[in-house]
């Protein structure tokens, strides 16, 4: 019998398609033991929802052709060769590093993968710490008690990026106490760090010149072999250039841009792979197309200018991509494939434009470009806070089963989501003068921060007057001393080996001067370095987590932190003098979690009251004895259709009109009840959007609105209307 190897996803098949009462085949459950990625599983469930709705409405059937865009394009022969050569070069260097480590310890010593990587990073950094400027010896990072360890340039909590491009060798103390969860740009010594990676920039520029040289060699090649070698060399140099570019970029970026997360591309790759297998349980014609090919068709059909980057200012570009993918057929795909095959021969003659490919219909470009005015973007925002984790019951490590042989699960009181911010605050009592000139006591909140990471703008907020004065003076002196250190570092790079020790001593002396600047004398007059300072800070909302064990003063009795996201807000109305008045009740995640405890839910269930209903009662009596009735409940992700105060919006079929009104709730303030709304198809990063408007208008489309309760006039999803999986809006009577 012939033996074959299979990927688990091919062995663990999806459940077969189900035939409904109408005789049509529908996608079954996407749950399979081979898919462990939660993002992929969520995407497959949404895919099932939409596809089954299309089948139900008779828009598609089992004979429908489906194209799935793959996230990563396949490499051609020259690209593969270039990549292999680059990888071989890196493997050769790695073996050299192993030999050097053995020379230092013993021929029998077998360095670990981490130790070899540390050595590589050490060489890349020219044997200094990029953050502190301290010289690094081999004993500092190899051995039983290393002082330097591998650090992630962009913290993994922000990027999930564990690639070598995101790693450096950093002093343990600095990494744990100063850098922590910050990117290099956020550090006070960022300018000094950039000086220390200047050689990376020089390497990038050198490789750019070599790449251009390889391009010229490819154009001037006299035969195919010579041309292939030049192209392979270009790809090899490009991989090396990209490595250094990506390392350098992580030190210069001012913030982690949207879409930077390394794991997102992995998630997309998994989703597309499993989607194809899943769809084949119903459809016989499921094909895959490469992402770069889709981009070429957009350009050939006039949907994107050939020289401009794909516009991502709104979410409609996803729809344009989908239309493009759906219209790609075998004939025009083969036309482009032939062009790619002949491209390298034709390029010498100056052919640099894509081939002409017939449009799916004559007015295709105009029709697709006009789709922006007809599209309503429906956002799926699942409410995950009430979802509680569960685990299999174990006794002495063994899973326990019930009478039917099924595992017994335990479920405790837990919620999903951040209940509060990570920073804990201190509370101190200070005497201040009020407007009447009288002395009164006021509670102020403080945070203890490491001095090395303290920004210049925060020095004025240091609590202790004497410490504030010392730090302010020292910070000015430090900048002058640091200039001298940077000049010595530049000398060290060009110095002979016998001169390095002398320069290192001078640098050490200057660094000691900096330490002495930030010092307070103790009882004996000896200087004690200041490592942390207390700084005044105003939190958006203080949350009392739990009580301290031993505390007498009332304002110091609790652990204090800052509230995180608000979970839900109820809008209540009452009539006064013929006018409608509004009030609100807002609950943050921490408060809402108390209503989701098992004992609370158990006490509510006999009366048929849910946890959310208990949080937001249908009515309540205010301090004046007036009854207020619940008008609406809002959560983050709720869609609303805005309208003017006296406007009766009954027609929900005019899409051209609705697309100007549809907004998504992205937050609400717990102090004044203002509601934060984002336009439904807005896709730009926050920093590129204009300032939020305080009022809704049909004449001017605002990317963001921050609306007060009195100005909030809207139909609300789940109360006034609903959106089906195909995007149709229906009124709820």
At residue 467, the pLDDT reads: 92
At residue 349, the pLDDT reads: 37
At residue 348, the pLDDT reads: 38
Q: Are residues 137 and 169 in the same domain?
A: yes
Q: Are residues 268 and 247 in the same domain?
A: no
Residues 712-715: contacts with CB under 8 Å, at least 24 apart: 712/571, 712/675, 713/642, 713/643, 713/644, 713/645, 713/647, 714/640, 714/641, 714/642, 714/643, 714/663, 715/640, 715/641, 715/643, 715/649, 715/652
At residue 241, the pLDDT reads: 93
Domain count of the chain?
A: 4
| 391 domain-assigned | no
Q: Are residues 124 and 271 in the same domain?
A: no
Q: Are residues 204 and 304 in the same domain?
A: no
Note if the pTM is more than 0.85: no
Q: Are residues 51 and 95 in the same domain?
A: no
| 135 domain-assigned | yes
Structure tokens at 165: 């491009």
**Which residues, other chains included, contact 285 with Cβ-Cβ below 8 Å and sequence gap of 6+?**
63, 64, 65, 66
Q: Are residues 615 and 672 in the same domain?
A: yes
pLDDT digits (tens, 9 = 90+) for 496-552: 777 778 888 888 888 888 888 888 888 888 888 888 899 998 888 888 888 888 777
| 390 domain-assigned | no
pLDDT band at 692 (very low <50, low <70, confident <90, very high): very high
Give me the CATH number covering residue 266.
3.30.420
pLDDT digits (tens, 9 = 90+) for 346-389: 443 334 566 778 889 999 989 888 887 778 888 878 777 877 77
pLDDT band at 111 (very low <50, low <70, confident <90, very high): confident
Q: Are residues 435 and 330 in the same domain?
A: no
252, 287, 315 - which closes a domain: 252
At residue 688, the pLDDT reads: 79
Quick check: 463 pLDDT over 50? yes
Q: Are residues 579 and 716 in the same domain?
A: yes
pLDDT band at 603 (very low <50, low <70, confident <90, very high): low
Query: What is the average pLDDT score of the chain?
Result: 83
pLDDT band at 312 (very low <50, low <70, confident <90, very high): low
**Dihedral of alpha carbons 716, 719, 720, 721, sign:** positive
pLDDT band at 612 (very low <50, low <70, confident <90, very high): low
Q: Are residues 119 and 14 in the same domain?
A: no
Quick check: 9 pLDDT over 70? no
Quick check: 124 pLDDT over 90? yes
Among 306, 320, 417, which residue's Cα sits nearest to residue 367?
Answer: 320
Strand, helix or coil for residue 90: helix
pLDDT digits (tens, 9 = 90+) for 616-673: 888 888 888 888 988 888 998 999 999 998 888 888 888 888 889 999 999 988 788 8
| 484 domain-assigned | yes
Burial of residue 33, with CB atoms counted within 10 A of its CB: 0-12 exposed, 13-18 middle, 19 or more buried: exposed
Among 423, 441, 427, 448, which residue's Cα sits nearest to residue 555?
Answer: 427
- Contact (CB, 8 A) for 390 and 650: no
- Contact (CB, 8 A) for 180 and 161: no
Q: Are residues 64 and 82 in the same domain?
A: no
Q: Are residues 471 and 357 in the same domain?
A: no
pLDDT digits (tens, 9 = 90+) for 467-490: 999 999 998 888 888 888 888 877
At residue 344, the pLDDT reads: 45
Structure tokens at 4: 């074959």
Quick check: 334 pLDDT over 90? no
Q: Are residues 204 and 82 in the same domain?
A: yes
Q: What residue numbers bound the domain in which 140 lies?
A: 77-252
């Amino acid at each position: 019998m012939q033996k074959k190897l299979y990927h688990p996803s091919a062995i663990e098949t999806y459940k077969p398609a189900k035939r409904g009462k109408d005789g049509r085949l529908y996608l079954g459950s996407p749950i399979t033991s081979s898919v462990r990625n939660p993002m992929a599983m969520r995407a497959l469930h949404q895919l099932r929802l939409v596809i089954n709705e299309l089948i139900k409405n008779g828009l598609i059937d089992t004979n429908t052709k489906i194209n799935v865009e793959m996230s990563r394009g396949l490499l051609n022969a020259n690209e593969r060769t270039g990549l292999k050569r680059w990888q071989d070069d890196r493997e050769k260097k790695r073996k050299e590093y192993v030999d050097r480590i053995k020379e230092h310890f013993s021929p029998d010593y077998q360095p670990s993968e981490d130790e070899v990587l540390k050595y590589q990073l050490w060489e890349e950094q020219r044997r200094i710490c990029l953050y502190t400027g301290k010289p690094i010896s081999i004993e500092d990072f190899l051995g039983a008690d290393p002082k330097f360890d591998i650090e992630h340039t962009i913290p993994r909590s922000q990027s999930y990026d564990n690639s070598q491009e995101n790693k450096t060798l950093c002093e343990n103390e600095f990494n744990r106490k100063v850098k922590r969860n910050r990117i290099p740009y956020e550090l006070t010594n960022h300018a000094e760090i950039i000086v220390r990676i200047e050689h990376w920039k020089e390497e990038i520029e050198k490789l750019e010149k070599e790449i251009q040289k390889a391009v010229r060699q490819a154009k001037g090649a006299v035969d195919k072999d010579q041309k292939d070698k030049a192209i392979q060399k270009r790809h090899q140099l490009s991989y090396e250039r990209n490595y250094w570019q990506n390392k350098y970029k992580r030190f210069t970026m001012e913030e982690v841009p949207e879409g930077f997360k390394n794991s997102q591309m992995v998630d997309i790759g998994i989703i597309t792979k499993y989607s194809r297998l899943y769809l084949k349980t119903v459809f016989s014609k499921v094909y895959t197309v490469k992402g770069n090919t889709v981009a070429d068709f957009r350009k050939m059909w006039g949907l994107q200018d050939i020289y401009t980057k794909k516009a991502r200012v709104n979410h409609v570009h996803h729809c344009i991509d989908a239309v493009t993918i759906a219209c790609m057929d075998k004939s025009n795909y083969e036309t482009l494939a032939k062009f790619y095959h002949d491209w390298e021969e034709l390029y010498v003659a100056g052919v640099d434009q894509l081939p002409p490919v017939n449009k799916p219909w004559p007015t295709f470009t105009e029709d697709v470009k006009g789709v922006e005015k007809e599209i309503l973007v429906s956002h799926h925002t699942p409410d995950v806070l009430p979802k509680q984790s569960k685990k299999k019951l174990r006794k002495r490590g063994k899973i326990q089963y019930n009478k039917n042989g099924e595992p017994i699960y335990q479920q405790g009181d837990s919620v999903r989501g951040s209940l509060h911010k990570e920073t804990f605050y201190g509370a101190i009592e200070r005497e201040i003068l009020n407007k009447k000139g009288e002395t009164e006591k006021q509670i102020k909140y403080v945070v203890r921060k490491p001095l090395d990471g303290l920004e210049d703008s925060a020095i004025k907020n240091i609590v202790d007057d004497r410490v504030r004065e010392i730090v302010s003076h020292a910070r000015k002196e430090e900048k002058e001393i640091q200039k001298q250190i940077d000049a010595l570092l530049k000398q060290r790079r060009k110095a002979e080996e016998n001169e390095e020790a002398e320069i290192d001593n001078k640098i050490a002396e200057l660094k000691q001067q900096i330490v002495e600047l930030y010092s307070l004398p103790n009882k004996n007059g000896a200087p004690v370095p200041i490592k942390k300072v207390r700084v005044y800070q105003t939190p958006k909302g203080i949350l009392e987590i739990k009580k301290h064990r031993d505390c007498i003063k009332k304002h110091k009795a609790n652990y204090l932190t800052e509230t995180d996201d608000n979970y839900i807000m109820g809008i209540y109305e009452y009539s006064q003098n013929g006018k409608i008045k509004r009030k609100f009740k807002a609950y943050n995640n921490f408060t809402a979690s108390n209503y989701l405890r098992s004992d609370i839910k158990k006490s509510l269930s006999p009366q048929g009251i849910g946890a959310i209903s208990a949080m937001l009662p249908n009515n309540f009596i205010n301090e004046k004895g007036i009854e207020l009735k619940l008008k609406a409940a809002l959560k983050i992700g709720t869609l609303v259709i805005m309208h003017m105060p006296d406007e009766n919006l009954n027609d929900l079929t005019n899409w051209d009109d609705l697309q100007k009104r549809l907004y998504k709730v992205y937050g609400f303030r717990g102090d004044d009840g203002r509601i934060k709304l984002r336009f439904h198809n807005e896709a730009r990063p926050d920093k590129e959007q204009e300032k939020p408007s305080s009022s809704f208008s049909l004449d001017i489309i605002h990317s963001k609105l921050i609306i007060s309760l009195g100005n909030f006039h809207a139909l609300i999803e789940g109360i006034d209307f609903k959106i089906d999986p195909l995007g149709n809006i229906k009124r709820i009577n």
